[in-house]
């Protein structure tokens, strides 16, 4: 668990982050979101002490980070940035080996770890290990960046707009890959973005900051979208938040109706589809009702009323 206790960072008279208190639970993805210049990067990099707080304390599992050896702290925390910052004079394998080598792992253990990580991020080692960063696409480079950050299997991963410079199609793919990785890895991830759609898709919780690092709301995405705590939050969330929220809810969690005498609707959705997809199907279906299936089993029928109920 990462705990911010009234953490501030001031530059002269400018307050980048003001008295931020926040708890990041172990194994969760917490997204720091907010407009440009609101203090996201400052908050994030105070965790690995690339920036030192002016006042307040950050602790990890109860230990104040200010008391730790700064380089040991950083080696225990993965760090991914938008520009990636791969070492251009080193191969992909050498880049990924950085932290294990700093930690003086044996040559064999390092080689094994590099292969494992390349597999994990979906880059076949035979094809990619010996390439230079200049020989990779933007998306591949960011995958290597993530693999390098995971080098010595840190418990914590800090990611600063990691997919910000990637085109939208590849970005969604990388987001999904991160979620898939997290299902296996269970890291504590702090993820910075100014893109609210990315925030609600990726985050177990979203911390929404306003200018000066003021915490406006800290909630699960479904809660944030349903109940914005202030006009600032509502405005940052943007138009159509209840409809967008449907993308985060599953059909299996809605209360389904049993099929009536007139037979099953011909259009059907899967139980693990989102309510957004279900609503789309309902709007397409003739009778305003669709069948919900879990593989071959029919679970019931869903209509716009059940969606309305489920989204309350």
Ligand X SMILES: Nc1ncnc2c1ncn2[C@@H]1O[C@H](COP(=O)(O)OP(=O)(O)O)[C@@H](O)[C@H]1O
Residue ranges in contact with ligand X by CB under 6 A: 11, 14, 16, 36-42
Per rule CB under 8 A, count of chain residues that contact another protein = 30
Q: CA torsion angle for 277, 179, 176, 297 (degrees, to 10)?
A: -40
| Residue 312 interacts with, from Mg ion, ligand X, another protein, none (CB under 5-8 Å by kind) | none
Of 2, 84, 174, 233, which one interacts with another protein (CB under 8 A)? 84
- Shorter beta-carbon distance to Mg ion: residue 32 or 123: 32
- The two three-digit tokens of residue 222, written as one number: 């479904």
- Shorter beta-carbon distance to ligand X: residue 43 or 98: 43
- Judged by CB under 8 A, does residue 184 bind another protein? no
Of 133, 139, 213, 221, which one interacts with another protein (CB under 8 A)? 133
Residue numbers of the site for Mg ion (CB under 5 A)? 41
Of 15, 24, 40, 79, which one interacts with another protein (CB under 8 A)? 79
Instruction: Answer whether 178's CB lies under 8 Å from 14's CB.
Output: no
Of 59, 90, 210, 274, which one interacts with another protein (CB under 8 A)? 90
- Judged by CB under 8 A, does residue 141 bind another protein? yes
- The two three-digit tokens of residue 62, written as one number: 């109860």
- Shorter beta-carbon distance to another protein: residue 74 or 205: 74
Instruction: Answer whether 217's CB lies under 8 Å from 243's CB.
Output: no
The separation between the first and the last C-alpha atoms of the chain, rounded to the nearest angstrom, is 31
The Cα 135–Cα 129 span in angstroms is 11
| DSSP 8-state code for residue 256 | P
- The two three-digit tokens of residue 56, written as one number: 């307040």
The Cα 288–Cα 109 span in angstroms is 59
CA atoms within 13 A on the CB side of 216: 25
Q: What is the helix (H) or strand (E) element at residue 228, kind and residue range?
A: none
| Residue 279 interacts with, from ligand X, another protein, Mg ion, none (CB under 5-8 Å by kind) | none
Helix (H, G, I), strand (E, B) or coil at 131: coil
- Shorter beta-carbon distance to another protein: residue 78 or 213: 78
- Judged by CB under 8 A, does residue 104 bind another protein? no
- Shorter beta-carbon distance to another protein: residue 98 or 217: 98
Q: Candidates 87-95, 112-120, 222-230, 300-308 — which segment interacts with another protein by CB under 8 A?
A: 87-95
- Judged by CB under 8 A, does residue 27 bind another protein? no
Q: With 0-12 CB in 10 A as exposed, 13-18 as middle and 19+ as buried, what is 173?
A: middle
- Tell me which residues touch another protein (CB under 8 A): 45, 48, 50, 70-75, 79, 81, 83-90, 98-99, 102, 132-134, 141, 145, 148-149, 151
């Amino acid at each position: 668990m990462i705990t911010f206790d009234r953490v501030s960072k001031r530059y002269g008279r400018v307050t980048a982050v003001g008295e931020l208190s926040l708890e990041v639970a172990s194994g969760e993805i917490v997204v720091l979101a907010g407009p440009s210049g609101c203090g996201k990067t400052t908050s994030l990099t105070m965790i690995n002490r690339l920036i030192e707080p002016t006042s307040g304390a950050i602790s990890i599992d109860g230990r104040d980070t200010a008391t730790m050896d700064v380089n040991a702290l950083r080696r225990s925390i993965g760090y991914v940035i938008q520009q990636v910052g791969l070492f251009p004079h080193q191969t992909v394998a050498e880049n990924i080996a950085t932290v294990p080598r700093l930690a003086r792992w044996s040559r064999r253990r390092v080689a094994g770890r590099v292969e494992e990580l390349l597999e994990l991020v979906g880059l076949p080692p035979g094809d990619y290990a010996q390439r230079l960063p200049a020989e990779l696409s933007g998306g591949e480079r960011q995958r290597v960046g993530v693999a390098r950050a995971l080098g010595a299997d840190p418990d914590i991963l800090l990611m600063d707009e990691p997919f910000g410079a990637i085109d939208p199609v590849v970005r969604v793919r990388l987001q999904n890959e991160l979620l898939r990785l997290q299902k296996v890895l269970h890291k504590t991830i702090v993820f910075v973005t100014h893109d609210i759609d990315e925030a609600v898709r990726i985050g177990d919780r979203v911390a929404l900051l306003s200018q000066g690092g003021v915490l406006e709301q800290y909630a699960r995405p479904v809660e944030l979208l349903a109940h914005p705590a202030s006009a600032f939050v509502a405005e940052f969330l943007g138009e159509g938040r209840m409809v967008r929220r449907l993308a985060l809810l599953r059909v299996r969690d809605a209360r389904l109706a049993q099929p009536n005498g007139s037979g099953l609707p011909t259009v059907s959705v899967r139980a693990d589809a989102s309510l957004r997809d279900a609503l789309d199907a309902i709007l397409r279906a003739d009778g305003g009702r669709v069948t919900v299936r879990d593989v071959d089993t029919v679970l019931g029928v869903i209509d716009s009323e059940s969606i309305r109920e489920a989204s309350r």
